[in-house]
């Protein structure tokens, strides 16, 4: 079985907890860590080497847009999926300019989030 390693990044602890709980129900996913801001996401991406970063866009310290730019510059094969409540065209456009691989809206069915995470699996760190 090919397991996808996931880093969850959101400034709200309850959101991270809920995502971790829902995503661990999928046997194909392993939650390797959590971060509360973009700066920690960049640092943890380097140390934990996730296949996918599930990234909130609006956070303190460093937002998800800048964190995505830094992650993709250092680890271009690591997939970054934006997961946000900001479902408007300018947020989507900025997210894609930052390098996200997919744009998901919070509240989407967990099945669609899992499908987006496991779609186009690649080994980022080999």
Q: What is the CATH number of the domain that holds 14?
A: 3.40.50.2300
Q: What's the domain range around 26? A: 4-113
The answer as to whether 118 is a domain residue is no
The answer as to whether 8 is a domain residue is yes
Task: Give the pLDDT score at 108.
Answer: 81
The answer as to whether 104 is a domain residue is yes
* pTM, two decimal places: 0.90
Beta strand 79-84 with 102-105: parallel, antiparallel or unpaired? Answer: parallel
Contact 53, 34 (CB under 8 A): no
Task: Give the pLDDT score at 9.
Answer: 97
Residues of the chain where predicted confidence (pLDDT) is lower than 70: 1, 120-126
Task: Give the pLDDT score at 126.
Answer: 41
Task: Give the pLDDT score at 26.
Answer: 79
Going by C-alpha positions, the residue among 13, 88, 4 that lies closest to residue 50 is 4
Q: Structurally, how many domains does the chain consist of? A: 1
Collect all residues with Cβ–Cβ distance below 8 Å to 25 and sequence separation of at least 6.
110
């Amino acid at each position: 079985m090919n397991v996808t390693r996931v880093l969850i990044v959101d400034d709200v602890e309850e959101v991270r907890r809920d995502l971790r709980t829902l995503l661990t129900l999928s046997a194909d996913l392993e939650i390797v860590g959590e971060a509360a801001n973009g700066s920690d996401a960049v640092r943890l991406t380097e140390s934990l080497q996730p296949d996918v970063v599930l990234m909130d866009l609006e956070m303190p310290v460093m937002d998800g847009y800048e964190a995505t730019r830094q992650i993709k510059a250092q680890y271009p094969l690591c997939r970054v999926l934006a997961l946000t409540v900001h479902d408007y065209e300018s947020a989507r456009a900025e997210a894609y300019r930052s390098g996200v691989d997919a744009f998901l809206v919070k509240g989407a069915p967990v099945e669609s989030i899992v499908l987006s995470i496991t779609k186009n699996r690649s080994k980022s760190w080999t």
